[in-house]
Amino acid sequence: MISVHHLECSRSFRILWALEELGLDYDIHYYQRLPNYSAPETLKCIHPLGKAPILTDDEQVIAESAVILEYLQQRYDQKQQFKPKEPQDLQQYIYWMHYAEGSLMPLLVMTLVMNSVNKHVPWLIQPVAKKITEGVKANFVRPRMKDHISFLENYLAEHEYFAGDFSFADIQMSFPLEALQSRLQGKYPHIQAFLHRIQQRPAFQKARQKGIGSNERNCADI
Amino acid sequence: MISVHHLECSRSFRILWALEELGLDYDIHYYQRLPNYSAPETLKCIHPLGKAPILTDDEQVIAESAVILEYLQQRYDQKQQFKPKEPQDLQQYIYWMHYAEGSLMPLLVMTLVMNSVNKHVPWLIQPVAKKITEGVKANFVRPRMKDHISFLENYLAEHEYFAGDFSFADIQMSFPLEALQSRLQGKYPHIQAFLHRIQQRPAFQKARQKGIGSNERNCADI
């Protein structure tokens, strides 16, 4: 039996979506974030790093989004609908599977951590804290993010999906792109069109419904 | 012809090492970091993100360490010496290839950025800056890093290499582990033994020599 250890508002939504695309049966174990937005310690009972997503399939315990997607594709996508066959598309598939978490997400997490500093320091040092976190964003995060967004916009101007037809590379890329969505402000029509395209998929919508557990807060609050 | 666009003291050392393991001929184009440690803009002439490593092989331009390693293994490792054949080892190989940059490196980069803040703020606000960056390290980076280091130490206590025999997964994991080396302070003997093991390999040593261009500064300064 497949089980997903699903942390609210997290990378693990991707796994629910992939399972819906594959039409598989699975259980969801819901985990809520702590007040400081960390994952709860109970996740460490499943995998020592205590990070979501974690997938269990009978005896196997699998961590890391891209690795879970690769596992599900290899084991359950018997018609190879979700991984390209053409060598050039396959090369792109491998690239985006790594790029999503290896290059783009670290910048987004750094922004999140900097924003959280501003919220949590005593009010007396807030002006200085803001100056410092703004400095990190202005000098480190923003110039790199600008390059990444242009790179993605240019790529999606010429490609409907990331690796040929719709594939699990699109699922892998969806999480950082959705996290970017509010910053795009109508300026990057090809990224927005891609997001619109994937959000229309019935499996995406079904996963979204299942991802919202009864106690799940609005992810936009995080 | 294979060319490596090699930025001093960077992830691109891994590619030199892999090429040495494969016994291939290649050119190295050396790039020096700017005074703020960023990569120079000239790298953007090769790939729009302007990050090292970049490998070019005839017409192909390939970015992202793990993707380059996968490419080299698939194209040039005809005896499949550097990628495991057994399904269980292969599953581990895929895991560590993603984990290195997707989970471990972002924490190390965040530490580097926080340390750099302390060096670059005006002296008047240094005490407050230190408080803030220490807060990020204490609340965000350190507890996660502690989990990762224990996880790796426990894994290497039971495994000589990351995925069966020596493989490119070890090359991929070497960079974050070397970055951690100074923090281990003799407390994690299995990680240290692993590092010692890989650093003895003739291909590693040859790559280290080639990686040190005539103007390369000491990486420990960064």
- CA A200 to centroid of chain Cα atoms: 17
Chain A CB within 8 Å of residue B106 CB: yes
Instruction: Please count the CA atoms within 13 angstroms of the CA of A104 that sit on its side-chain side.
Output: 22
- Pick from A95, A132, A140: which is nearest to B129 by CB? A132
pLDDT at A118: 81
The pLDDT of residue B216 is above 60: no
SS3 A133: helix
Predicted confidence (pLDDT) per residue in B147-181, tens digit: 999 999 999 999 999 999 999 999 999 999 999 98
Q: Flag if A94 and B136 touch (Cβ within 8 Å).
A: no
pLDDT at B222: 54
Distance from CA of A88 to the nearest CA of B (A): 11
Please give the class, per CATH, of domain A87-201.
mainly alpha
Distance from CA of A204 to the nearest CA of B (A): 23
What rounded mean pLDDT belongs to chain B? 92
- Which range, of B57-61, B89-93, B201-205, B210-214, averages the lowest pLDDT? B210-214
- Predicted confidence band at B128 (pLDDT cuts at 50, 70, 90)? confident
Chain B CB within 8 Å of residue A131 CB: yes
Contact B177, B155 (CB under 8 A): no
pLDDT at A128: 86
Q: Flag if B95 and A64 touch (Cβ within 8 Å).
A: yes
**Tens-binned pLDDT, residue by residue, of chain A (222 aa):** 999 999 988 999 999 999 999 999 999 999 999 887 889 999 999 999 999 999 999 999 999 999 999 999 999 999 999 999 999 999 999 999 999 999 999 999 999 888 888 888 888 888 888 988 998 899 899 999 999 999 999 999 999 999 999 999 999 999 999 999 888 888 999 999 999 999 999 999 999 999 876 455 556 655
pLDDT at A216: 53
- Pick from B62, B102, B121: which is nearest to A101 by CB? B102
pLDDT at B212: 76
- Which range, of B93-97, B117-121, B216-220, averages the lowest pLDDT? B216-220
Polymer length in residues for chain A:
222
Contact A135, B121 (CB under 8 A): yes
pLDDT at B221: 55
Please give the class, per CATH, of domain A2-82+205-221.
alpha beta
Can you spell out the DSSP letters for B60-75? EEEESHHHHHHHHHHH
Say what the ipTM of the complex is.
0.94
- Pick from B91, B113, B131: which is nearest to A136 by CB? B113
pLDDT at A71: 97
- CA B35 to centroid of chain Cα atoms: 21
pLDDT at B220: 60
Residue type, B206: K
Domain with CATH 3.40.30.10 in chain B: 2-82+205-221
Q: Flag if B154 and A48 touch (Cβ within 8 Å).
A: yes
- Predicted confidence band at B120 (pLDDT cuts at 50, 70, 90)? confident
Predicted confidence (pLDDT) per residue in B6-55, tens digit: 998 899 999 999 999 999 999 999 999 988 788 999 999 999 999 999 99
Chain B CB within 8 Å of residue A90 CB: no
- Predicted confidence band at B126 (pLDDT cuts at 50, 70, 90)? confident
pLDDT at B124: 84
Distance from CA of B120 to the nearest CA of A (A): 10
Domain with CATH 1.20.1050.10 in chain B: 87-201
DSSP H/E element including B9: none
DSSP bridge pairs for B6: B30
- Pick from B71, B106, B135: which is nearest to A106 by CB? B106
pLDDT at A109: 92
pLDDT at A123: 87
Quick one: which of B54, B43, B41 has its CA closest to B2? B54
Chain B CB within 8 Å of residue A109 CB: yes
